[in-house]
Amino acid sequence: MGTLREQIKQKRQEIAELRQQQTDQNLSSIRELYEEMKQQQKEIEQHQNKINTIFGEIKHELIDLSATMDKEQKREVARFLYWDVPEISTKQIIDCFSDDQYKSATISGMVGSLTLTKTCSSCGIECKQKIKNRTEQKLKRNQKIFCNLCQKKKEEAAESARIKHRKEGDRLEKEHIRENQVVQRRLNHLKTMPYDEYLETSHWKSIRQKALGRANYRCQLCNKNGKIHIHHRTYKRRGEERPSDVIALCEKCHAKFHDKETG
């Protein structure tokens, strides 16, 4: 028996070998499946070739037959092929069954429309649906349909949801307008009231307090503290002052301001 280190080394090697074996196995089964898939595809191709050959024969038969068919019979066969045999292309149908020797006939003129009977996805009643062409047929094959009554109910439900939504929108809009009006009225009041009354408002007191805080309770010109005034540099935005609209000043500096300007 080797050392512990050697034992670990050996175990690791064993695990690595097992992993390699597992990987090889997985790879070989993938290869086998892929070979199987290719084989099946080859068979599909062979079947497709056979189908094409049979279709060629059918076409010949039909061309021969169409000589003996009258207009109505041709229409009937074309109709059957168009709606029930999607493998046969529209062009092939026109080539075989058009009465028009220049083959300029339209397929819808030849085969008309298809009336599909389906059950209403909501109430289960049978209802008829008119299908104009193959594209529509393919599209509507798995589509849910609703009878007129259920369709109407659905639309009404959607409409009432829409109305409810709109009413809610209107309500919010009105509320918003009302709030704006209140703000605007309050602002007008602040702008037009006498100045000494304005200085007593909670709005100004809060502006003043904030300005004092920003200036750290010192004069912003000479840096002295003590009794600090908040001076309006402009009255343009009274009631909605920006921080730069006001300045903190000591009594002395404030007096200098009011010597130079008025207000």
Chain residues binding Zn ion by CB under 5 A are 120, 122-123, 147, 150, 219, 221-222, 231, 250, 253
CB atoms inside a 10 Å sphere around CB 4: 8
Q: How far is the CB of 39 from Zn ion (least distance, A)?
A: 49
Q: How far is the CB of 124 from Zn ion (least distance, A)?
A: 7
Q: How far is the CB of 115 from Zn ion (least distance, A)?
A: 18
User: What does residue 130 show for φ and ψ, rounded to 5 degrees?
Assistant: -95, 130
Nearer to Zn ion, 182 or 199 (CB): 199
For residue 119, what are the β-bridge partners?
126
Nearer to Zn ion, 166 or 258 (CB): 258
Contacts 24+ apart (CB under 8 A), 142-151: 145/118, 145/120, 145/121, 146/120, 146/121, 146/122, 147/120, 147/122, 147/123, 149/123, 150/120, 150/121, 150/122, 150/123
User: What does residue 245 show for φ and ψ, rounded to 5 degrees?
Assistant: -80, -15
CB atoms inside a 10 Å sphere around CB 133: 16
Nearer to Zn ion, 105 or 120 (CB): 120
Q: How far is the CB of 51 from Zn ion (least distance, A)?
A: 40
Nearer to Zn ion, 71 or 260 (CB): 260
Q: How far is the CB of 93 from Zn ion (least distance, A)?
A: 35
Nearer to Zn ion, 81 or 147 (CB): 147
